[in-house]
Amino acid sequence: MTTGPRPQPPYLRIVSDIRARIESGQLRPGDRVPSTRQIIDEWGVAMATATKALATLRQLGLVHAVPGTGTIVSDSSTGHRRPTRHRRSTSQPPVTQERIVRTAIGIADREGRAAVSMRRIAAELGVGAMSLYRHVTDKDELIRLMADTAFGEAPLPEPGRRGWRARLEEIARLQWATYRRHPWLAPVALTSLAHPPVLSSGMAHVDWQIDALGGLGLPQHDILQIVVSLNGYVGGIAMSHALEHEYVLESGITMRQRHDTDEPVLRELLRSGRFPHLATATGGDIDLDALFEFGLQRQLDGIQNYLTRRPK
Helical packing angle, 164-181 and 220-251, nearest 10°:
20
| Topology match between the domains 13-75 and 164-309 | no
Question: Residues in the chain, how many?
Answer: 312
For the domain made up of 13-75, the CATH class stated in words is mainly alpha
Residue 216: strand, helix, or coil: coil
Q: Which CATH number fits domain 164-309: 1.10.357.10, 3.40.50.970, 1.10.1060.10, 1.10.600.10?
A: 1.10.357.10
The predicted structure's pLDDT at residue 77: 36
Amino acid 3 reads T
Residue 32: strand, helix, or coil: strand
pLDDT, tens digit (0-9, with 9 covering 90-100), for 141-196: 999 999 999 999 999 998 878 899 999 999 999 999 999 999 999 999 888 888 88
Residue spans per domain, the chain: 13-75, 164-309
- How far apart are alpha carbons 71 and 73 in whole angstroms? 7
The predicted structure's pLDDT at residue 86: 45
Sequence-distant (≥ 6) Cβ neighbours of residue 51 within 8 angstroms: 36, 250, 251
The predicted structure's pLDDT at residue 71: 83
Residue 238: strand, helix, or coil: helix
Q: Which residues of the chain have pLDDT under 70?
A: 1-7, 67-69, 76-91, 282-284, 312
